[in-house]
């Protein structure tokens, strides 16, 4: 899917751009794709629909940019060991879930999959797959058994956040270390191995 192109015109106001994306992300999470509108986003952002349309041709294009903006913070890449790197990735994933309504947005996109599959595809390629690749690389560089199914472990670790999110207790602050310890209890390899470096 091609990245939406910004129309040429007068210089953009960065503060208004941020307000629009914040309002759109909030309404996408709270109202869902079907109920949010350019009119409601413009009102919430303190601007007009014509101003919004100068930036985005339609609601789908606006939501596509919102999805791209959900990657608030990149995971650190300077951890001293592979396990510390894996833990940093999970902690970063956890902090991003708290910082933006990512799961509410995902729920809305799943509900719209039949009508707008391109938006769910964008969520997967921009957010889900890069995170999975980073975590899989950290697991591969560690001292896990050669028989370990890295794809399955990656899905189990990341999927546990989704599963825990829907419980009454929610996701506790120490969840990244708890879930990683279930499959990788101790940090015994000070340096990455060369067993598998493919994402």
| Tens digits of residue pLDDT in 20-37 | 999 998 898 888 898 999
- Which CATH topology does 14-69 take? Arc Repressor Mutant, subunit A (1.10.10)
Q: Is the dihedral of CA 132, 136, 137, 138 positive or negative?
A: positive
Predicted TM-score of the model (pTM):
0.75
User: 103-130 burial, b if ≥16 CB within 10 A, otherwise e?
Assistant: ebbbebbeebeeebeebbebbeebbeee
Could you report the per-residue pLDDT of 67-98, keeping only the tens digit for each? 887 765 666 778 889 999 999 999 988 887 87
Tokens representing 15 are: 């503060």
Of 167, 18, 169, nearest in space to 100 by CA: 18
Domain definitions of the chain by residue range? 14-69, 82-183
Return d(Cα 81, Cα 191) in angstroms, integer. Answer: 6
pLDDT of 192: 47
- Determine contact, residues 183/156, Cβ cutoff 8 Å: yes
């Amino acid at each position: 899917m091609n990245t939406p192109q910004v129309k040429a015109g007068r210089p953009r106001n960065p503060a208004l751009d941020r307000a629009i994306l914040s309002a759109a992300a909030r309404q996408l999470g709270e109202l869902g794709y079907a109920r949010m509108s350019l009119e409601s986003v413009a009102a919430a952002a303190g601007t007009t629909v014509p101003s919004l349309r100068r930036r985005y041709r339609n609601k789908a294009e606006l939501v596509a940019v919102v999805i791209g903006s959900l990657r608030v913070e990149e995971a650190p890449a300077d951890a001293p060991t592979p396990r510390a790197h894996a833990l940093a990735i999970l902690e970063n994933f956890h902090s991003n879930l708290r910082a933006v309504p990512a799961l509410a947005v995902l729920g809305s996109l799943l509900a719209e999959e039949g009508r707008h599959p391109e938006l769910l595809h964008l969520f997967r390629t921009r957010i889900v797959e890069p995170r999975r690749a980073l975590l899989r690389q950290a697991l591969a560089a560690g001292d896990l058994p050669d028989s370990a199914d890295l794809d399955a472990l990656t899905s189990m670790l990341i999927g546990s956040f989704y599963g825990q999110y829907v419980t009454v207790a929610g996701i506790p602050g120490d969840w990244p270390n708890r879930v990683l310890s279930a499959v990788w209890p101790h940090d015994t390899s000070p340096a990455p191995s060369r067993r598998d470096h493919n994402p």
